[in-house]
């Protein structure tokens, strides 16, 4: 090989090596750009992971708070149910006491002279009303001997004679008042 051929071969090899170097350099530059993009993306992914970790932490805290709230509400429900049961029992007790007190009051009133006087008065009034209607419908019959015996004595509550038969009852014969509250105090 001659010198010229050798030079030519060396230059050719040199150009080949340079072109390989340029290709490798461009490839290295592209790889470096790709590495920079990947590092940026990795930072973004790490930031997103941190953000999601914060969201997950907050969600976990919220879940704990909600579980605590649920437990508090369950405790409140139990407490309210207990109070409601207590109030129901107390209401039942008071209702029983009220019924018993009512029975005792009724029995005491029925045993009192006021009750018997009231019964006698109402019974006597009814009897006298019956006697008055009988006198009105049967004027020829003498009803003066028909008397009611209350407590061992003759009825003197509504002593009437045959002259009182034609007395009109104000409650049924008076026309209604225009203003029934005319005598009522004004507020």
Beta-strand ranges (E) seen in 14-164 are 149-150, 153-154
Query: Is-above-0.75 flag for pTM?
Result: no
Residue pLDDT, tens place only, 113-142: 888 888 888 888 888 888 889 889 988 888
Cα 176 from Cα 57, distance rounded (Å): 84
Cα 95 from Cα 103, distance rounded (Å): 12
Cβ atoms of residues 117 and 125 within 8 Å? no
Residue pLDDT, tens place only, 26-60: 999 999 999 999 999 999 999 999 999 999 999 99
Give 4's pLDDT tier (boundaries 50, 70, 90). Answer: confident
Cα 147 from Cα 156, distance rounded (Å): 9
Residue pLDDT, tens place only, 75-118: 999 999 999 999 999 999 999 999 999 999 999 988 888 888 88
Buried-exposed string 52-80: b where 16+ CB fall within 10 A, e elsewhere: eeeeeeeeeeeeeeeeeeeeeeeeeeeee
Q: How far, CA to CA in Å, does 60 sit from each of 49, 64, 74, 152, 156?
A: 16, 6, 21, 93, 93
Cβ atoms within 10 A of the Cβ of 5, count?
9
């Amino acid at each position: 090989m001659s010198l010229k051929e050798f030079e030519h071969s060396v230059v050719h090899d040199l150009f080949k090596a340079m072109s390989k170097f340029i290709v490798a350099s461009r490839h290295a530059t592209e790889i470096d750009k790709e590495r920079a993009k990947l590092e940026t993306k990795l930072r973004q992914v790490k930031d997103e992971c941190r953000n999601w970790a914060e969201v997950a932490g907050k969600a976990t805290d919220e879940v704990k708070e909600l579980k605590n709230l649920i437990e508090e509400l369950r405790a409140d429900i139990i407490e309210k149910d207990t109070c409601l049961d207590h109030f129901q029992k107390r209401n039942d007790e008071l209702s029983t006491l009220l019924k018993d007190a009512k029975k005792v009051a009724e029995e005491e009133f029925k045993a009192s002279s006021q009750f018997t006087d009231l019964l006698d008065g109402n019974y006597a009034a009814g009897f006298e009303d019956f006697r008055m209607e009988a006198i009105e419908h049967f004027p020829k019959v003498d009803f003066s001997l028909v008397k009611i015996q209350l407590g061992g004595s003759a009825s003197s509550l509504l002593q009437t004679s045959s002259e009182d038969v034609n007395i009109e009852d104000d409650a049924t014969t008076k026309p209604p008042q225009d203003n029934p509250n005319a005598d009522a105090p004004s507020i």
